[in-house]
Amino acid sequence: MTPPAAAPSAGQAPSAPVAPAGTAVRRHWRLPSDTRSIPALRRRLRALFTEAGLDEDLAYDLVLAACEAATNAIEHAQDPAEPVIDVGAEVAGGRVEVAVRDYGRWRERVPSMDRGRGSMLMSAVGEITATPSPAGTTVVIRAGGPPLPSDGALR
C-alpha cells in the first residue's frame, strides 16, 4: 500500500468540480481478496461513473487508480483478518471519492526498481490518503474538491 499522505501531492488533479452538479451516486462492494476480483471492480466502477455522467477520460483515470489501490490491498495486506477488500465509491456535488480497504497489517515497502509506481499513478488523478491501522489499511482517492460528507463507513 501507499504510505500515509499528509497533504495532496504536487501535480494532483485540480479541485474544480469533476461531475455534474446535481449528481449523487454511491456504491459499496465487498470483493474476495484475490486479483481475479479486479476485472469485476473495473466493470462496476465504469458503470457507476457512466451513470454519474463523469467525463470519459477522468472516469478511465479513476478506474485505473482505484484498481491500483485494490491490487495493492490484495497483494500487500499482511495476514488479513478477513480475506476480502471493501470498495466504496461516491460521486456527489461535483466531487468523486473512492475508498479501498483491506483487513491486513501495514507493511513498509522494500525499495524495488521494477515496482512502486502505483502511488505516483494514483496521485496523478487526485488527492490520495492512506490510513494504516492494526485492523487494515484504507486508501482514499479524491478528485474535484474537499472530502464528501459521507458517513465514512470505509474510513
pLDDT in tens, 50-106: 999 998 999 999 999 999 999 999 988 888 889 999 999 999 988 999 999 999 986
Output the pTM of the full model: 0.78
More confident residue, 41 or 76: 41
In this prediction, residue 111 has a pLDDT band, given cuts at 50, 70 and 90, of low
pLDDT reading at 20 higher than 60: yes
Cell of 3: 504510505
Are the C-beta atoms of residues 61 and 84 closer than 8 Å to each other? no
Query: Which residue spans within 64-119 are E strands per DSSP?
Result: 84-92, 95-101
In order of their start, the domains of the chain are: 24-109+116-143 (3.30.565.10)
| Mean per-residue pLDDT over the chain, rounded | 80
Between 4 and 147, the more confident residue is 147
**25 near 91, Cβ under 8 Å?**
yes
Question: Distance between alpha carbon 116 and the CA centroid of its chain, in Å?
Answer: 16
Q: Which three cell numbers stand for residue 85?
A: 477488500
